[in-house]
Amino acid sequence: MSGLPAQIRYCLCAFACLSACALPAIASADEPPSGGDQPYTTSGGASPDDPQFKPHGKAMLLPNGQAIAPSDAPPEVAAAINAGNQIATLPYVYGGGHNATFSGRGYDCSGSVSYALHGGSLLDAPLDSSSFMHWGDSGPGSWITLYTNPGHAYMVIAGLRFDTSMRTPLAGVSRRHSHRASTINSTRWSTTMRSARGYTVRHPIGF
């Protein structure tokens, strides 16, 4: 640069000095803050991936009558849905499922609810609909809500109703008068709700 005029040499030196000071500061603004494990975000330290910004998902009902748990469901809720799938298309049988092993060729209303809750490790022994009126905590749950009275019990899990009455017909399955057909022409899962009037509302503790 010795051949350049003094003023140009001075400007070039000043620019080089300014760049050397400013670039490290700009680069550091794109790095995570030191001394912590939290990733850097542009929203004041709160990440959009935080659970508080993620609403609870809803289960999906398939045409075959099976339900798919949402990806953000707790393991207990997903397990309860999977257990419900095992008996979703079985027939209604009075007293079904009310034994030490929760087994039966069919299930009644409270037996169905008991089976699904047991599958989610939320119930140790089957209960009848009257007993469910005093089970768990009062009011609706964040994932599972039971509706029960002395004559009937059903529940809503992750947005799907699990119920032995007002069942959902399966698509493409004709209704025949055989015992086998009665096990596959409808499912206990439903996307439609029903009136909760006259029911006690309960939920599993923590869910």
Domains of the chain, start order? 1-54 (no CATH), 57-203 (3.90.1720)
- pTM of the prediction? 0.70
Which of 78, 79, 127, 73 has its CA nearest to residue 102?
127
| pLDDT of res. 192 | 97
Q: Is 153 in a helix, a strand, or coil?
A: strand
Closest CA relative to residue 91, chosen from 182, 163, 166? 182
CA quadruple 128, 187, 121, 155: dihedral sign:
negative
| pLDDT tens sequence across 12-58 | 444 444 444 443 433 333 344 444 443 333 334 444 444 444 446 89
Residue 184: per-residue pLDDT:
72
- Write out the H or E segment, with its range, that includes residue 149: strand 144-149
